[in-house]
Amino acid sequence: MVIVLLGPPGAGKGTQCKRLAEKYELVHLSSGDILRSNRANGTELGKKAAEFMDSGKLVPDQLIIEMMVGAIESAKGNCVLDGFPRTVVQAGELNEELSRKGKKIDAIVDLIIDDSVLERRLTGRRSCPACSAIYHIDTLKPKVEGVCDKCGKKLAQRTDDKPDVVKQRLETYHQQTAAVVGYYTGKKYRILDIDAEKSISEVTSLIFAKLDNLVTA
Ligand code: AP5
């Protein structure tokens, strides 16, 4: 099963993908997490991606496509995709790769949210560099301040969650990524729109309800 989660930075893709992965037994493939892990490990890909990520721009398609095709292969095509595809070129390549493997996208979920809500979500986010768990200083606090509930490591603020980079990321989303929804609509995919301004657990319930319907249909 392949599920794609779309939505702007801070919409809750990572938060919801972790829950989807658990419920439907899928591998959570976050392009952002894979890039951050490459950076932490000092790989060539990580070095090439750094300046794009830190300035809120997209990493070039070819680097991302190669990285994600490898990840999807390792997951044996049983995955929930978070942050990929992010351009129409990436969406086209994903379709080709899946059809080469005799697979297809089973569901596309689009998290709908106004930009005005996103800045506070992103600047207040804290995440675990070791296990990628996600917290928020107001809405999802860890049990002990600054410490990951799951693995006990020190939480950090992402370098691209500073206000000026957040502004650029939102611009990049509207200029390059929003068109991916149009790409899928044009290809007659059904997109499951979700009101992502509701609380985390309400958003999860809305997504589960729509996906359960699809799975049992
Ligand atoms: P990436 O890591 O993918 O960042 P993003 O898409 O900008 O998404 P985020 O991780 O910021 O947000 P999210 O939607 O996952 O929200 P989250 O659940 O964390 O990409 C980073 C960079 O890598 C890009 O800028 C680019 O340079 C590069 N990159 C990655 N993929 C690429 C690609 N395919 N092509 C090219 N370049 C690529 O939630 C955010 C916060 O809000 C958290 O604190 C959370 O607790 C809180 N929250 C979540 N849901 C709710 C809710 N319902 N109510 C209240 N608070 C909530």
pLDDT digits over 71-104, tens only? 999 999 899 999 999 999 999 999 999 999 999 9
pLDDT digits over 34-73, tens only? 999 999 999 999 999 999 999 999 999 999 999 999 999 9
**At residue 75, what are phi and psi to the nearest 5 degrees?**
-85, 5
Return the structure tokens found at 113.
């949210």
Average pLDDT over residues 128-136: 94
pLDDT higher than 70, residue 217: no
Tell me how far apart the alpha carbons of residues 64 and 161 are, in angstroms, rounded to a whole number. 21
Percent residues over pLDDT 70 in the chain: 99
Pocket of ligand 1 (CB under 6 A): 7, 9-15, 31-32, 35, 52-53, 56-59, 64, 83-84, 86, 90, 121-122, 125, 134-136, 139-140, 160, 169, 196, 199-200, 203
CATH number for the domain running over 2-113+176-216: 3.40.50.300
Q: 163: buried, middle or exposed (CB in 10 Å: 19+, 13-18, 0-12)?
A: exposed
Average pLDDT over residues 10-15: 98
| Domain boundaries, given as residue ranges, for the chain | 2-113+176-216
The alpha carbon dihedral of 196, 202, 204, 207 has a sign of: negative
Query: Catalytic residues, which ones?
Result: 13, 86, 125, 158, 169
Atom of ligand 1 nearest to the CA of 57: 27
Mean pLDDT of the chain: 95
